[in-house]
């Protein structure tokens, strides 16, 4: 998997099509609310150009704008902005619009998930993949509510925003110096310590499907852990301090890995540990 493609790896978010169809209207409303600040800023900065553009479409004569609206705002402050300065500021305007959209979309998503959690608190367990199972339904609804935010976060190369607004903003405990921009990490029931490196295209899942059942269980990754590329960690796993999981290996659910040890294989097996090094040295 190439690096440009891996930059777009959003948190895994399975959504049952039955539940998606049932709750598509609230999801569309959520997207609409998330886009309101961007629409307002675009109108505020560029409404004159948009108006001229629309008039040109419906008129046989080309209409030229006397001045850009953003320049016009500065004119009202007593400064006639040169055209080249305005051209330089256009990317800054769009970056500002993007950042505000991310922050506002994360806020709308957090409020919506908070309302869902008030109605039905997220819990770990084994649930039926049925519309009659509330835990399964609300797990899907939380996933659905994150789709738009993840799309705008993981479709651009601003990696520093991903950890902040896809995880930490929602209360997911993630420590310092954590590299997790090129992998799949579930957005809930996850705890990651300091100095953790998760390799390219690796997966850390707090959920797993088995037949007509859904398993949800917390994954804990402690400090100084190295997870190799394309490794997979399943729900209920505890990775203690200093563990190295080689590339391509995966864990069975509810596995505990001993501190300061190296694991390899499918499923992952112990191949080296601090205890064996101590015994060999003696």
Tell me the CB-side half-sphere exposure of residue 135, using CA atoms within 13 A: 14
CA pseudo-torsion sign 263, 265, 270, 272? negative
Asked whether the beta carbons of 208 and 189 are under 8 A apart, the reply is no
Residue of 54 and 31 predicted with greater confidence:
31
**Mean pLDDT computed over 258-282:** 76
Largest CA distance in the chain: 91
Instruction: Identify the band that residue 52 occupies on the pLDDT scale cut at 50, 70 and 90.
Output: low
Instruction: Identify the band that residue 281 occupies on the pLDDT scale cut at 50, 70 and 90.
Output: very low
Instruction: Identify the band that residue 93 occupies on the pLDDT scale cut at 50, 70 and 90.
Output: confident
**Mean pLDDT computed over 244-258:** 93
pLDDT per position as a tens digit, 109-146: 999 999 999 999 999 999 999 999 999 999 999 999 99
Within 8 A by CB and 6+ apart from 121, the residues are none
Angle at 150 between CA 25 and CA 33, to 5 degrees: 40
- Percentage of the chain modeled with pLDDT above 90: 61
Would you say residue 151 has pLDDT above 50?
A: yes
Rounded to the nearest integer, the mean pLDDT of the chain is 84
Residue of 117 and 61 predicted with greater confidence:
117
Instruction: Identify the band that residue 2 occupies on the pLDDT scale cut at 50, 70 and 90.
Output: very low
Is pTM beyond 0.75 here?
Answer: yes
pLDDT per position as a tens digit, 182-192: 899 999 999 99
pLDDT per position as a tens digit, 160-175: 888 999 999 999 999 9
3-state secondary structure of 163: helix
CA dist., res. 169 & res. 266, Å (int) = 34
Domains and CATH numbers, the chain: 1-171 (no CATH), 173-282 (2.160.10.10)
Here the tokens at position 134 are 């509330």
3-state secondary structure of 171: coil
92-96, 169-173, 200-204: least confidently modelled range: 92-96
Strand partners, 221: 192, 239
pLDDT per position as a tens digit, 207-234: 999 999 999 999 999 999 999 999 999 9
Would you say residue 61 has pLDDT above 90?
A: no
Would you say residue 55 has pLDDT above 90?
A: no
- Supply the pLDDT for residue 206: 96
- What is the C-alpha R_g of the chain? 24
């Amino acid at each position: 998997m190439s690096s440009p493609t891996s930059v777009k790896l959003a948190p895994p978010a399975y959504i049952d099509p039955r539940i998606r169809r049932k709750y598509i209207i609230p999801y569309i409303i959520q997207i609409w609310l998330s886009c309101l600040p961007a629409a307002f800023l675009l109108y505020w900065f560029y409404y004159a150009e948009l108006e001229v553009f629309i008039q040109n479409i419906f008129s046989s004569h080309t209409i030229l704008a006397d001045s850009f609206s953003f320049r016009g705002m500065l004119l009202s402050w007593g400064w006639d902005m040169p055209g080249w300065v305005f051209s330089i500021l256009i990317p800054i305007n769009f970056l500002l619009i993007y950042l505000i959209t991310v922050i506002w979309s994360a806020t709308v998503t957090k409020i919506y998930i908070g309302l869902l959690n008030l109605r039905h608190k997220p819990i770990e367990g084994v649930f039926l993949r049925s519309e009659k199972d509330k835990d399964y339904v609300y797990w899907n609804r939380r996933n659905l509510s994150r789709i738009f935010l993840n799309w705008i976060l993981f479709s651009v190369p601003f990696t520093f925003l991903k950890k902040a607004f896809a995880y930490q903003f929602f209360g997911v405990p993630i420590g310092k110096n954590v590299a997790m921009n090129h992998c799949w990490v579930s957005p809930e029931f996850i705890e990651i310590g300091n100095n953790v490196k998760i390799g390219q295209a690796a997966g850390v899942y707090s959920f797993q499907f088995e037949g007509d059942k859904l398993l949800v269980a917390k994954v804990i990754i402690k400090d100084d852990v190295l997870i190799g590329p394309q490794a997979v960690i399943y729900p209920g796993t505890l990775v203690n301090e200093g563990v190295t999981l080689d590339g391509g290996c995966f864990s069975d659910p509810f596995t505990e890995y001993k501190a300061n040890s190296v694991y390899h294989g499918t499923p992952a097996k112990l191949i080296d540990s601090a205890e064996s090094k101590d015994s060999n040295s003696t």
